């Protein structure tokens, strides 16, 4: 079988999307990276300030910490939901898929404002807890880390459920029956058979949610506490301080760290896949 080689017609078809990619993706990235070295205080002053100034360094740490917490919460909430949907058939499967996909039809801005209404001091959550007698005074849920994590985890649930569901639907039910025949109890079947087979979905969902959470702006801006995420910090550098070089440096550092983490995940994933094939 001869290897495929691009023809003149296929190259012509690729020209338009490659041009759009260069104009609206590669060129802005290069411009932002170049802008980060344009500080009047020195060529690498913006990066030195990120390394030495806690006010600039902490948003990066807080962003990755928040992304890890949101990813963990989304995984814990999504795994049983994806498991139930994967076992459903016919009408119930269609209903489950509709419920998962409905949030995509609603803007993240609307959902963030909805959580602001729910979590404020006189919101639905506090009013319900007061009416049931669980609390004596309203809790401070909005403009806190807890409120931000709850809202972001809920927004990210579909992005975690869909990869999990794809992996779980691909698991052959006969494998579980074989484990049961060999004497494994339900817990052992899940831990030794089902969970390892669903790990590709877990990995894909975690990477998708983690990377998406790193760039969140609307929800942290509305519900966030005094600790800003990196997107909010970048916006503050641009709109309030008019420091474009520093904002570009923060964006460049975030992009580089995200790429390094993704490359680490890919390398680890290939190594685990190779070890699995060796077995």
Domain ranges of the chain: 60-278
Q: Taking the mean position of all CA atoms in its chain, how far away is CA 240?
A: 28
Segment 192-229, tens digit of pLDDT: 888 888 998 999 999 999 999 998 888 888 887 667 88
CB 228 within 8 A of CB 146: no
CA distance 120 to 138: 9
Q: Which CATH number fits domain 60-278: 1.10.3720.10, 2.60.40.2470, 3.30.450.40, 3.50.50.60?
A: 1.10.3720.10
Rounded to the nearest 10°, the torsion over CA 152, 154, 158, 163 is 70
The CB density around residue 271, as the number of other CB atoms within 10 Å, is 10
Which residue has tokens 């995200």?
258
pLDDT of residue 182: 83
Average pLDDT over the chain reads: 86
Q: DSSP letter string over 86-141?
A: HH--HHHHHHHHHHHHGGGGS-HHHHHHHHHHHHSTTSHHHHHHHHHTS-SS----
Segment 45-99, tens digit of pLDDT: 889 998 898 888 899 999 999 999 999 999 999 999 999 999 888 888 899 899 8
pTM of the shown model? 0.85
């Amino acid at each position: 079988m001869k290897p495929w080689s691009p023809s003149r017609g296929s190259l012509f078809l690729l020209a338009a999307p490659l041009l759009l990619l260069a104009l609206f993706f590669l060129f802005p990235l290069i411009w932002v990276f170049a802008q980060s070295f344009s500080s009047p205080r020195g060529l690498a002053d913006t990066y030195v300030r990120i390394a030495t100034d806690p006010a600039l360094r902490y948003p990066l740490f807080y962003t990755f910490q928040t992304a890890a917490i949101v990813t963990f919460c989304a995984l814990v909430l999504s795994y049983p939901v994806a498991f139930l949907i994967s076992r459903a058939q016919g009408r119930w499967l269609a209903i489950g898929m509709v419920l998962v996909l409905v949030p995509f039809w609603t803007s993240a801005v609307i959902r963030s404002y909805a959580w602001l209404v729910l979590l404020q001091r006189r919101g639905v959550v506090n009013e319900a807890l007061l009416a049931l007698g669980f609390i004596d005074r309203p809790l401070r849920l909005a403009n806190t880390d807890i409120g931000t994590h709850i809202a972001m985890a809920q927004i990210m649930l579909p992005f975690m459920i869909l990869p999990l569901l794809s992996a779980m639907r691909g698991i052959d039910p006969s494998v579980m029956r074989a484990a049961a025949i060999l004497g494994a109890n339900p817990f052992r079947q899940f831990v030794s058979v089902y969970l390892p087979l669903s790990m590709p979905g877990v990995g894909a969902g975690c990477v998708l949610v983690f990377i998406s959470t790193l760039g969140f702006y609307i929800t942290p801006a509305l519900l966030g506490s005094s600790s800003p995420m990196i997107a909010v910090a970048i916006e503050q550098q641009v709109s309030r301080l008019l420091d474009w070089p520093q904002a570009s440096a923060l964006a460049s550092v975030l992009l580089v760290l995200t790429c390094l983490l993704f490359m680490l995940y890919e390398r680890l994933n290939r190594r685990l896949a190779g070890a699995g094939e060796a077995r």
